[in-house]
Structure 1
């Protein structure tokens, strides 16, 4: 079985981690892709909001309402 991950959110480290915690509370696995740290280790710069949160494509339906609510909360 092929597992395909998709990016559902990107932002600063602290904001992405907050959403990851919400997903974990709902038993949804996720992966953080930290381009900032990768760039630092590679010796070049990257924008601070280059941190992505990925989930399995099969989890998108149960994840989307959580992401939408989180975006409302952080933008209010």
Structure 2
């Protein structure tokens, strides 16, 4: 059962379901517990954060719109 629960959490976290929502789905009263338990499954959000800032200010000098360093 533990493996199935872990799989369920990973499937929900990979497309970006929030920790708070996952905590509700798993029946955890404290989202902090869910975060501590499943944090290794949370995908990196560096690209999302960069895209959000670039959407407001545009890419930084020397950087292409896809986030790669321009040659």
User: Shorter-chain TM-score: which interval?
Assistant: under 0.3
State the structure with more CA Rg. Answer: 2
Of Structure 1 and Structure 2, the greater strand share is in 1
Greater relative contact order (CA < 8 Å, ≥ 6 in sequence): 1
Of Structure 1 and Structure 2, the greater helix share is in 2
- Taking structure 1 as the reference length, the TM-score comes to 0.26
- Taking structure 2 as the reference length, the TM-score comes to 0.28
